[in-house]
Structure 1
C-alpha cells in the first residue's frame, strides 16, 4: 500500500469529515450515549488531524510544543475512544433487540448509563495515562502528518497500548453478531415496542452500523498492530529508566524519510484516511434519515429568516418523534 494524498485534498476531506461527524448531534436523542460519543470522538479526531495536516504541511518545525502534547494525548485516547463508543452503541442495540432494555428499572438504567460513560470517557483517559509508561520520547513530528505519539517498541507496549483496540474490536464483533441474531429471531416482537416507523428505521440503521463494525474495528486494529510490530525492530525491555532515558527529546522526520518506508507510510496514511472513511459511513447511515432532513429544513428556514425570507405553511417540515 503506497498512498500519497496530495495537499490540500486531505485537509479538505478531513475538515468535511469533522463537520459530517458533528451534524447528527442536531437530531440524535441525547440519551443515546454510544452514538453521541462516537460522533464526538470522531469529530475530535478529524479536527486534530486537520490542524496537524495544515500546520505541518511541508515542514517539521517544533514551534507548537503545547499543542503537540495535547494532540498526541488525544491520538492515544482516540485509539480506544472510537471503538469504545461503538461498543457502547452495539451493546445497547443488543439489549434492545434481546428485549432487555425494555425491562430495566430506573436504578438499572442509571447503572447502564454509568457503565457507558466509563467506557466512552474513562477508558480513553486511562489509555492516555497508561501509554506514558511505554513512551520513549515526548513526541515525534512527521512532515505533512504533524505531531505523533512516540511509543517505544518494546513488548509492554503491545500489552498496555496496541492490543486494546483489537480486544474492544472483538467485543464489538461479538455484540454485533448477537444483535443480528436477536434481530432475526425477535424482529416481530421488537416492532411492538418501538413507537413509530421513525424509531424502527433508526434501529435498522444501527444494525447497518453494527455490521460495518464487524468488518472494520478488530481487523483494522489488528492490521495496524501487525504493521507496527513488523515495521520497526522490537527493542528489549530493560526498565522504566531505559525507556524514558531520552524522554525530553522531539524527533523530526521529513516526508522523504517516512514515505520511503512502505510499511511506515502505510501505517501513517491508513491511520489518517480511516477517519475519513468512518465519517463518510457514519454520515451515510445517519445523515439522510427523516429526522436529518427535517433538521436540515429547520436550519435552512432559520437562516433564511435572518435575511427576511419567511417559511410558507406548505414548506414547514413535519415533526418527527425524537430517536
Structure 2
C-alpha cells in the first residue's frame, strides 16, 4: 500500500495553480498545455490511488476508459509542448526575427494548440491500433493502458516522444547558442522584437525545457526497457488476433508481481509528480509569480476582509494622511 500517493499527487496538481495566472494572461499556449496535462495526469493518479489502494477490483469502468486515453495523450503532449517552447525561443533569439507582430503570435498560438492538443488526440486514437484489450488494473496504481507490445507499438507509442524530445534538445541548443553570441545585448534584442519575454523568463523557459526533455528521454527509454522486461515482444499477426477478447480487463495484484516490476512501477509513478514540481520550481518563485501573489493577497485583504490596501506608515500618519497601495 502507498498512502503517500494520493496526497502527493493532489499537492502536485494544485501547486500548478501557482504558475497559472501569468501564463494565462501572456497567452502562452505551450506552457498552459504543460500545466493542463500535468494537472489532469496528477488528478488521475491521485483518484486511482484512492480507489485501488490494496485493490484490483474491476470498478469505475467508464472512468478507466477515459483516463487511460488521457494518460496516453499526456505522454505525447508534454514533449510536444516543450518542443513548441524551444522552437519559439530559438526563433525569438535568432537574427532571422526582426519583430514579433500580433499576427505572428496568433499563428504561433494556433501551431502550439495543434501540437499540444491536436497531436495528442491523434495518438490517443492511434493507440487503439496497438491496444490489446480494454485496460489493466494494477494494485495501488489503478487503471493503466493495455498495449500489445510489438514493433507497431514501439513506432506508435515510444518513437514519437523520443523524436520530439531529441528535436527539443536541438532547438534548445540553438537557442542557447544565440543567447551566448549576444548575451551582452540580449535584453535589448528581445525588446526590439516586441517579445513578452525578458532575459530571466527566456533562461527559465530554456532551462526548464532542457531539463524536462532530458527527463523525458530518460523516462521514455526506461519505460521501453521496463515494458521489454515485463512483456516479451510479440509478432503483429492480424487485427482480429491482436484485438481478440478486447473487452477483458487484466488485473495485477502486488502479491504475484516480481520485485523488479514493483520497483519500476514506483519509479514510473513518481516521474509525474517530479516533473510537476520541477515545472513549478521554475515558474512559481520568479518575479512575475511574486507580483501575482502580492496582487492576490491585496485582493483578499480588500475584498474578503474589507481592510484598507495598506496601513499608513508612522512617519506619514496624521490628520491628513491617506492609505496607499503597497
TM-score by length of 1: 0.89
Aligned residues: 311
Residue 100 of structure 1 deviates from its aligned partner by 4.1
C-alpha contact 1:98 1:186 (8 A) present in aligned 2: no
- Aligned pairs for 1:157-168 (under 5 A) are 157-168=153-164
C-alpha contact 1:21 1:283 (8 A) present in aligned 2: yes
C-alpha contact 1:198 1:290 (8 A) present in aligned 2: no
Instruction: Determine the structure 2 residue equivalent to 1:309.
Output: 307
Say which is worse superposed, 309-318 or 91-100, in terms of deviation: 309-318
Distance 1:197 1:135 in 2: 43
Instruction: Determine the structure 2 residue equivalent to 1:3.
Output: none
- CA distance 1:134–1:211, shift in 2 (3 Å): closer
From 1, 9, 19, the equivalent of 1:14 is 9
5+ residue gaps, structure 1, are 1-5, 319-323
C-alpha contact 2:254 2:262 (8 A) present in aligned 1: no
C-alpha contact 1:60 1:252 (8 A) present in aligned 2: yes
> Secondary structure of 1:188's match?
coil
Distance 2:83 2:325 in 1: 34
Measured against aligned partners, the alpha-carbon deviations of 1:236-295 in whole angstroms (never above 9, x if no partner) come to 21111001001100111112233x241x32442233211111111111111111121121
Say which is worse superposed, 206-215 or 196-205, in terms of deviation: 196-205
Distance 2:45 2:156 in 1: 24
- CA distance 1:317–1:291, shift in 2 (3 Å): farther
Instruction: Determine the structure 1 residue equivalent to 2:284.
Output: 287
Instruction: Determine the structure 1 residue equivalent to 2:114.
Output: 118
Distance 2:238 2:152 in 1: 10
- CA distance 1:244–1:21, shift in 2 (3 Å): same
Distance 1:35 1:8 in 2: 31
Instruction: Determine the structure 2 residue equivalent to 1:321.
Output: none
Distance 1:234 1:78 in 2: 24
Residue 150 of structure 1 deviates from its aligned partner by 0.3
C-alpha contact 1:11 1:54 (8 A) present in aligned 2: yes
C-alpha contact 1:97 1:187 (8 A) present in aligned 2: no
- Aligned pairs for 1:206-221 (under 5 A) are 206-221=205-220
From 267, 271, 276, the equivalent of 2:268 is 271
C-alpha contact 2:90 2:171 (8 A) present in aligned 1: yes
C-alpha contact 2:134 2:249 (8 A) present in aligned 1: yes
From 77, 91, 100, the equivalent of 1:95 is 91
Residue 34 of structure 1 deviates from its aligned partner by 1.4
Distance 1:83 1:212 in 2: 11
C-alpha contact 1:15 1:50 (8 A) present in aligned 2: yes
TM-score by length of 2: 0.88
Measured against aligned partners, the alpha-carbon deviations of 1:197-222 in whole angstroms (never above 9, x if no partner) come to 98222112112213313521222211
Distance 2:128 2:99 in 1: 42
Residue 118 of structure 1 deviates from its aligned partner by 1.1
Distance 1:179 1:102 in 2: 16
Instruction: Determine the structure 1 residue equivalent to 2:62.
Output: 66
- CA distance 1:293–1:239, shift in 2 (3 Å): same
C-alpha contact 2:6 2:49 (8 A) present in aligned 1: yes
5+ residue gaps, structure 2, are 314-323
Measured against aligned partners, the alpha-carbon deviations of 1:146-199 in whole angstroms (never above 9, x if no partner) come to 010000112211011122211111111111111111111122343113459982
- CA distance 1:211–1:76, shift in 2 (3 Å): closer
